[in-house]
Every structure is written in C-alpha cells, then in structure tokens.
Homo-oligomer: A and B are copies of this chain.
Amino acid sequence: MSTRRPQRVHIREVGPRDGFQNEPEQIATEDKVRLINALGRAGLHRIEVASFVRPDVIPQLSDGVEVLSSVDVPDDVALMVLIPNSKGLDNALKVRDKFHEAAIFVSASETHNKKNVNRTIDETMADLDGVAKRITSEGIRCAAVIATSFGCPYEGRVDLERVLSLAERFAEAGASEVGFGDTTGMANPGYVSEFFSAALERLPGVEVTAHFHNTRGQGLANALAALEAGCSSFESSFGELGGCPVPPGSTGNIATEDLVSMFHEMGVETGVSLPGVIDAAREAQTVLGRKLTSHSIVAGPVEWASARS
C-alpha cells in the first residue's frame, strides 16, 4: 500500500472559518483570536481564519477584519481568507497585509453551485478567473476549492473529468493549489484512491489538497486512501467543528486531532503538536458550551495510553 505514501504532509486548519461559520451563535472575537493563536502555536502552519462574504448573509464571520488584525501567531503560519467573488476581493485587499493565502471556490455540481452562490458554474468561473489573476498579481497565494468533487446530494456522482477540467482552469488562472471538497460526505476510499491518482497526474506543479467529511464515519479512511495515492495536503477542523452537516444532525469535517493522530501513529510527519491541538479543541468545547465529537479529544494521543503502565 505504501509505495506512493508521502512521509510528510501539510494540514490546513479550517475550523476558525468553516467551523465557526456553522455555529448557531456568533463566537466572541476575543474567543476566536485566542483559539486561533492556540492553533498557530500548536504548529498548524496554515489556518483559514476569515471570509469576505456579506456580513448580513453570514453574521458569524462579520468580525473577520478584527480577527485578522488581532491574531498573534508564529511567523511561519499562513493565514487564509475565503473570497467568494470580486466584491469580496475588493474588501479583502483593504487589509492586504493581514493574510497570506486567499481561497476561491466553485461547486462541481451545477445544482449545488446554484443553491450555494446563486450562479451557474460558468458564471462563477468567469468571475473567479479574474479574481484568481488579481489575487496572484497582488503576490498573494491563491488556492481554489472545488466543492462536491466526490458527489452531490442533488446530482449524485459528479463526473471526474468535469472536476479535473475545473481544476485545470483554476491552475491556468494562477491557483497554486486546488482543494477537492467532499462537501456532503459522499466520498469512499475506493473512489478517492482513483480520484487522487488521476488528479495528481493531471495537475503537475499544483498542490492537490484533500478535504473530507466524516458523515458516515469514513473520513479518516478517505484521508488514508488519498495519502496512499500520493496526496500530501489535507484540510481538517479542530474539534470536528463545522462542515455544513448534511443531513442535519450528522457530522461534517474530519477532526484535525484525529487526522494528526492517525498520521503520527503511521510515522507520517505533520509538524503539528497533537496535545496542542487537543488542548485547543477542549478550549473550543468550553467556549461553545457543548461536547464536541472528535475522538482524540476524549481518548488523547495513543502515547498517553502506553504511558499509563
């Protein structure tokens, strides 16, 4: 199984954007900042922290500029912001020096894209083409995200060729990285293996990122399949926060601490302190006032179990 397994991977923490956005109540800015600082200190060198969407649409993230201005993370941490369209980029560029990476996104499924951003895929791509070029011309690293890459609740399986064509178009527009999102948890390890083998071959020079959900408990199995296919870039969320649960009540994103635990146990380096992430997730439990669903938050790292002898 291990011929293409990378020995080191990058993990982007998406909880402060993807997670906090999906909370029913807005989290206080100072709590957000404290949690992001803890994640940065835990060695997560890529953190998605804000979104330049309309504050009336997503009030949970309306304090994005304040968060960006207040966080205090190590110098090697790249802060990412989500840019939905040209207007969002205009606003983001007003605080150009506060972040390092910008993410743009489209859904591979026409129906899902229409419901998500009220435009066709063609309309979205026409806008994002210019957005990507402006981002890169500003010297900002551009990462594109393709939602519903592994399946859509409205359309079922999404054609691989269609997904890879969108990825190539993003790369041509200047994206250094393309992330493939399992937005509603429909990926399975068999397809993931095929998918990433094809994506890595088709996108030379582009960082290929896997973003899985744990909807049916197989999130880490999908991450394993991507890893074994050669993928070395992953996104996850501390405490298993966020990920727009479909159907309601189910879990979304895979938990950063569970992903890190699996990789470390396998001998795959992440640069992340597992106890540090677990501490941040436990702090998030306190802030949110409820038990979060990650496993390692309860079980702790496997080393701790061995040390109890």
- List B contacts of A217 (CB < 8 A): 214, 219-220, 254-255, 258, 261-262, 294-296
Q: Answer whether A300 and B261 are a contact pair too, CB < 8 Å, given A2-B193, A217-B255.
A: no
Q: Which 6 A-B pairs have the closest CB atoms?
A: A188-B265, A217-B258, A217-B295, A190-B266, A250-B299, A154-B309
Q: Which of A30-38, A70-78, A169-177, A223-231 contacts B (4 or more CB under 8 A)?
A: A223-231
Q: Are B221 and A262 in contact (CB under 8 A)?
A: yes
Q: Binary interface profile of A, 22-61, with partner B (CB < 8 Å = 1, else 0)?
A: 0000000000000000000000000000000000000000
Which residues of A come within 8 Å of B, CB atoms? Answer: 1-2, 111, 151, 153-156, 184-186, 188-191, 193, 214-221, 223-225, 228-229, 246-247, 249-251, 254-255, 258, 261-262, 265-267, 294-296, 298-300, 302, 304-306, 308-309
Q: Are A156 and B309 in contact (CB under 8 A)?
A: yes
Q: Answer whether A258 and B220 are a contact pair too, CB < 8 Å, given A111-B309, A155-B309, A249-B298.
A: no
Q: Are A305 and B246 in contact (CB under 8 A)?
A: yes
- List B contacts of A218 (CB < 8 A): 220, 224, 258, 261-262, 265
Tell me the complex Cα distance, A287–B145, Å: 44
- List B contacts of A258 (CB < 8 A): 216-218
- List B contacts of A300 (CB < 8 A): 247
- List B contacts of A189 (CB < 8 A): 224, 262, 266
- List B contacts of A191 (CB < 8 A): 265-266
- List B contacts of A250 (CB < 8 A): 295, 298-299
Q: Are A306 and B220 in contact (CB under 8 A)?
A: no
Q: Answer whether A295 and B155 are a contact pair too, CB < 8 Å, given A190-B265, A300-B247.
A: no
A156 nearest in chain B by CB position:
B306
Given contacts A153-B308, A215-B299, 7 further A-B contacts (CB under 8 A): A156-B306, A185-B305, A186-B302, A191-B266, A217-B220, A217-B258, A218-B262
Tell me the complex Cα distance, A261–B218, Å: 9
- List B contacts of A266 (CB < 8 A): 188-191
A304 nearest in chain B by CB position:
B247
Tell me the complex Cα distance, A185–B301, Å: 11
